[in-house]
Amino acid sequence: MRRLVIRALSVFAAMMFVTATFAFANGQQQSSSSQSKSSGPVKIAIRLKNLGTPFFDAVNVGAKEAAKQLGNVDIISQGPSPPTAEGQISIIQSLIAQKVGAIAISANDQNALVPIAKKAMAAGIKVISFDSAIAPAGRILNIADSSSPLIGQTQIELMGKLINNQGEIAILSASSTATNQNTWIKYMKQELQKPQYSGMKLVSVVYGNDLADQSYRQAMGLFKKYPNLKGIISPTTVGIAATAKALEDAGLAGKIQLTGLGLPSQMAKYIEDGTCKAMELWNPIDLGYTAAYVSWGLATGKFTGKPGETMHVGRMGDITIQSDGTAVMGKPFVFDKSNIAKYSKLF
């Protein structure tokens, strides 16, 4: 935790600088560049699930921090508006034509992106996924936010504590094809099989597509359909914030418990007023920094990306690629009333 604090504080200055310097446009592309040396900058494309999500804005901050530190690196951050695989495919198509050095993708669909990712790799582009994985055939490696089984376990544990391990619960997820949420949900379901959770019943999994209005409507739908609902787990920063708002608007805050994966800056209000007593996440700035740094390492030949390799990733230190091609960043961290004020200033 101490390391997270130090890291978070060290990126804060960079974050303030970057947000002041690079206005995040509403359009499809944001670009920052360091001064080009004779060989020209290494172009690194960061493919977000979608634009307009504060979580991915923070990812961009980290990516730009890495680019600035490395020098001679151009970051091209893009994502479709709604989080769809089709939107990501057409963006990757144009990146192949632009001959970027590397593409780091948070995938909206682990299989649908494989053919285009293969095409990019055949053209010499280093493709990795981060946050939400592409199937192994479509990438060199995957950078995972945290251990997926651990996220599944701790999400259920948090909800269990809030409702005394008793009652109906629902999950409000992102898109139905999101690799990361689907994996976490799989582990949540496994965790629920444990005897201590026999009194907890998962009655529904709904999808708000990582869009605030759709997530809000899904939450309202759950309240209506399940009058005995005791809790909602929303493992998406968009979904949990929309659910918190829906709970307050419906007068159900405190009656239905809420947890999930939330961005502290978006959730501070709801944690302070008790609508969401506890939630988890990791540092999205570190995630973006790592994705950009590793992309650069692969594009320049500094890293091979092979299982077993230990990559020295700047201020993140050493990260080792596991035998399944995944590099795990850290443990999810719990935010509650005791610490939310501090973290909401950082991301």
Interface with ligand RAM (CB under 6 A): 49, 53, 55, 106, 131-132, 145, 174, 180, 210, 236-238, 261
What span, in angstroms and rounded, lies between the C-alpha atoms of 135 and 114?
A: 7
Q: Smallest gap, in angstroms, from Cβ of residue 236 to ligand RAM?
A: 4
Nearer to ligand RAM, 43 or 266 (CB): 266
State the nearest-atom distance from the C-beta of 38 to ligand RAM, in Å: 38
User: Looking at beta carbons only, is 236 or 243 nearer to ligand RAM?
Assistant: 236
Which C-beta is closer to ligand RAM: that of 214 or that of 236?
A: 236
Query: Looking at beta carbons only, is 15 or 73 nearer to ligand RAM?
Result: 15
Query: Which residue, among 265, 208, 199, has the nearest Cα to 231 in the 3D structure?
Result: 199
Shortest distance, CB of residue 284 to ligand RAM, whole angstroms? 8
- Give, in order, the Cα–Cα distances in Å from 202 to each of 1, 35, 253, 262: 32, 53, 20, 21
C-beta of 52 vs 314, nearer to ligand RAM: 52
Contact indicator for 148, 200 with CB cutoff of 8 Å: no
Rounded least distance, CB 198 to ligand RAM, Å: 28
Q: Report in angstroms how near the CB of residue 274 gets to ligand RAM at its nearest.
A: 22
Cβ distance to ligand RAM smaller for residue 258 or 299: 258
Structure tokens of 170?
């629902």
Four-CA torsion 175, 212, 131, 45, nearest 10 degrees: 100
Between 183 and 295, whose beta carbon lies closer to ligand RAM?
183
Which residue, judged by CB position, is nearest to ligand RAM in the bound state? 55
Q: How far is the CB of 174 from ligand RAM (least distance, A)?
A: 4
How far is 2 from 18, CA to CA, in rounded Å? 24
Smallest distance, ligand RAM to C-beta of residue 147, A: 14
Q: Taking a C-beta distance cutoff of 8 angstroms, is the pair 222, 187 a contact?
A: no
